Amino acid sequence: MSDTPIMRAAAATPPKLSRRIKGLSDRTIAWIFVGPTIFLLLAINIFPLIWTIRLSFTNFKANSPNREVEWVGLRNYQRILTDPDIWLTMQATAHFLFWTLLLQVVIGFSLAWLINRKFKGNDLWTTLIVLPMMLSPAVVGNFWKFLYQPQIGLFNYVVSWVSCHPPAGWLLNCIDPSSFEMIGSVNLAPWSIVIVDTWMWTPFVMLICLAGLRSIPDYIYEAAAIDRASKWRQFWTITLPMVLPFLMLAVLFRGIENFKMFDLVVQLTGGGPGSTTEVTSITLKREAFEKWRTGYASAYAIILFVTVFGLASIYVKALNKVKER
Amino acid sequence: MSTYSITEPSRGQKWVAGMLVVTYAIITLMPLVWIILTGFKSPADSIAYPPVVMFEPTVEGYVNLFTTRTRVTAEQLAALPPPDGLAETIVRDRGMVIAGASKFGERFLNSVIIGFGSTFLSIVLGTLAAYAFSRFKVPLKDDLMFFILSTRMMPPIAVAIPIFLMYRSLGLSDTHLGMILLYTGVNISLAVWLLKGFIDEIPREYEEAALIDGYTRFQAFYKVVLPQAATGIASTAIFCLIFAWNEYAFAVLLTSGNAQTAPPFIPTIIGVGGQDWPAVAAGATIFLLPVMIFTILLRKHLLRGITFGAVRK
C-alpha cells in the first residue's frame, strides 16, 4: 500500500505545506474538535469537584438553600477525622477491598490459567463466564437478595445441598437452609456482598490475566523446557512474573471501583444490619441525601478522593517499576 | 497438530482444565438462569421449598410487570364481561382486574432514550476530540490518561452533590437532557481514550494523500478516517451504552419520576407482602437480555473497552 506514488508524495510533503493546503488551519480545527469535549469535562467533572471543595468548608444544607451559609474553615474535616464511626466505615471498606481483591485475583488468575490450556470450546465458555460483569449491578444485586432468602432462596438451598452430600458432606455437618441468613445476620452480611462482588467481577480479572498469559511468547517456554526447567519452576519464573503487571493493573481497576462500591451494597444490605456493611459510599449518601449535611458530606467526599488518589498514585509508581523489570 | 510441541498442553491436561472451567461457568450462570426461570413462575412456584426447576410456565410475572391491578369482590368479578385476552384471564384468576399500565414501559423507554442519547453524543464528541488528540498538537495531551483515571476515583455520590445543586438551578434535574449530558460527561473520557487508540492505528498517510488530492481536513476526516475507524467506533459505542444502561447511583439520586431509568425502578416492584419476585425477574430479564446478547456477539472487542484500552489484543 505504502508504495503507490500518492503515498510517496504524501510522505514526502512536509506537514507545514499539507496544513496550508486547504480549508481552516489545523489549529482552528483542533479547537473546534476538542472544544465541546473539554467543555463537557469541565462542566461535569472539574466544576463539580471545585464546587465540592468549596462546599466542604461551609455548613451548607442542600435542603434549605435559603439558610445563611457560614464559612466553617476546616471544622468539617476535623469532625470527620476524629469521628470513630467514620473509621468504622473505613474499616468495613478496607475489609471488602481486601477480601474481594484476594478472591478475585486467586479465582480470576486460576481461571485464566485453565482457559489458556486451550481446550476445545474455550472461547464460548469464556464469553459465558464474562456475562455477570456486563450486567447492571443494581438489578442483579436486587435479585441476589431473593437468592439469599433463608428458606426459599437458591443460594441457601445450594449451600445446604452441598454440605449434606459428599464430598463436602464427609467434612461438614448437614446445614439446614433456614438455619442461616446471609443478609440479616451481622456475621454473614459482609460476606453476602463479598460473594456477589466476586461472582460479578472475577471475570474482569480473568480477562486481563488471560491477555497477560497470551502475551507470553511460546519460545520462552521452549527454551526453559530445553534447559530442563520443571513445569513448576517455569510457572514461578516465567508465567507469574510476566503476568504480574497485568494482574496489578486488574487490581488497580478493581480497587478503585470497589472503594466506591455503592449499587450492590444498597441493593443487598443497605448498609445493615446496624452499620456492619456501611461502606464509605453509603455513609456519604446518608450524610448528603438523607441528613442533608451537604458541607460535611462534601468534606468527606474530598477526603475519600484524596485517599484514593494518593493510594492509586503510589500504586501506579509500583506498577511502573514492575513493568520496567 | 501433527508435530509434537513441548508448549502444547497434553490431552489429559486440556480435559481437566476444560471440566473445571465448565463447572465454574455453570455455577456462575446459575443466578442468571434463575432470573429467567423465575420470570415464568407463578408466585407460589417462585417461593416453593425446595426450589423447583420443573414447573408449569406462566406469564403472570410479565403481566404483573406491565400492569397495575385492583382487587374486586367475587360478585363484581362475576358481573364483568368475559375476559379479553390472556393477561385479563390471568389477573381475574387472582380475583383482580387490570387497572392500567404500570410505569415499567415508561422507565424502560427512559433507559433507551438516555442510553442511546448519551452514547450518540459521547461518540460524536469523542470521535472529534480523539481525532484532534491523535493528529494535532494539543496541549496537556499526555496528562489525559491520568485525568481519565482520576475522574473515576471520585465516588459518584460525591459528584452527585454539586451536580444535584447545579441541575436544580439550571432546571435540569429529573430531565432526559440532564441525564444524557451527565452520562456523556462520565463516558466521554473513556470514549476519547479508546477512540484515540483506534485512530492512532490508522496510517496518517491515508489522509495526507487525500489532502493532496484536494480534500479539506473535514472531508479527509469524514471520507477517509471515519470509515477506517468504524469498528473501533462501534465497540466504543457499546461500552458507552452498557455503562449508561447499567448506571444506578446517579439515576437514583438525581431522578424521581419523569426521567427515571429502569435500574432504580426494577427493585421497587412490589406485590402483596414484599417484592413481587416473578415480576422483578421478568423486568430483570427484559432489561438484562439485550446486554447478554451484545456481550456474546461482540466478545472479540470486549477486552480493550473494559480495560480502558490498557490491554490491546
Q: Which of A134, A152, A308 sits opposite B295 (nearest CB)?
A: A134
Report B:61-120 residues touching A (Cβ under 8 A): none
Q: How many CB atoms lie under 10 A from the CB of residue A241? A: 12
Mean pLDDT is lowest, of A22-36, A106-120, B38-52, B173-187, for A22-36
Mean pLDDT of chain A: 85
Are residues B291 and A6, on separate chains, in Cβ contact within 8 Å?
no
Report d(CA B275, CA B60) in Å as an integer: 14
Phi/psi at A274 (5° precision): 65, -120
Q: Are A93 and A105 in contact (CB under 8 A)?
A: no
A-chain residues within 8 Å CB-CB of B162?
47-49, 51-52, 55, 298
Q: At what angle do helices B11-39 and A189-214 cross, to 10 degrees?
A: 140
Mean pLDDT value across residues A261-287: 87
> Which residues fall within 8 angstroms of residue B207, CB to CB, at 6 or more apart?
B135, B220, B221, B224, B225
Partners of A151 on chain B (C-beta within 8 Å) are 49
Tell me how close the Cα of A186 comes to any Cα of chain B, in angstroms.
Answer: 22
Probe site for chain B from A37, A114, A247 (most B CB atoms < 10 A) = A37
Of B51, B150, B159, the CB nearest to A154: B51
What is the reported pLDDT for A9? Answer: 57
How many Å apart are CA A234 and CA A232, to the nearest integer? 5
Q: Which of A17, A104, A142 to mutate to test the interface with B (most CBs of B within 10 A)?
A: A142
- Chain B residues in contact with A317 by the CB 8 A cut-off are none
Strand partners, B274: B271
In this structure, chain B runs to a length of: 313
Q: Taking residues A2-11, what's their average pLDDT?
A: 54
Taking the C-alpha atoms of residue A281 and residue A268, their distance in angstroms, rounded to an integer, is 14
pLDDT for A4 beyond 60: no
- The amino acid present at A203, given as its one-letter code, is P
Contact call for residues B305 and B236 (beta carbons, < 8 A): yes
B243: contact with A, CB 8 A cutoff = no
Lowest mean pLDDT among A200-209, A295-304, B296-305: B296-305
- Torsion sign across C-alpha atoms B182, B185, B191, B193: negative
Residue with cell 360478585: B75
Q: In this prediction, does ipTM exceed 0.90? A: no
pLDDT tens digits in sequence order for chain B, 313 residues long: 445 566 677 888 888 999 999 999 999 999 999 999 999 998 888 888 788 888 888 888 898 888 888 888 888 888 888 887 888 888 888 878 888 888 899 999 999 999 999 999 999 999 998 888 888 877 666 666 566 556 666 778 778 888 888 898 898 888 999 999 999 988 888 888 888 888 888 888 888 888 888 888 888 888 888 888 888 898 888 888 988 999 998 998 888 888 899 999 988 887 776 788 899 999 999 999 988 888 888 777 766 666 666 666 5
Q: C-alpha grid cell for residue A166?
A: 459428599
Q: Long-range pairs for B51-54 at CB < 8 Å and ≥24 separation?
A: B51/A152, B51/A153, B51/A154, B51/A157
- Test B292 with A111 for CB contact under 8 angstroms: no
What residues of B are in contact with residue A131 (Cβ under 8 Å)?
Answer: 28-29, 32, 292, 295-296
Dihedral angle, C-alpha B297, B298, B302, B304, nearest 10 °: 170
Interface A:B, Cβ pairs < 8 A: 330
Q: Do A249 and B310 count as a contact with CB atoms less than 8 A apart? A: yes
Query: Residue A41: is its pLDDT beyond 60?
Result: yes
Whether B136 contacts chain A with CB within 8 A: yes
pTM of the model: 0.87
Interface test with A, best of B153, B225, B287, B297 (most A CBs within 10 A): B153
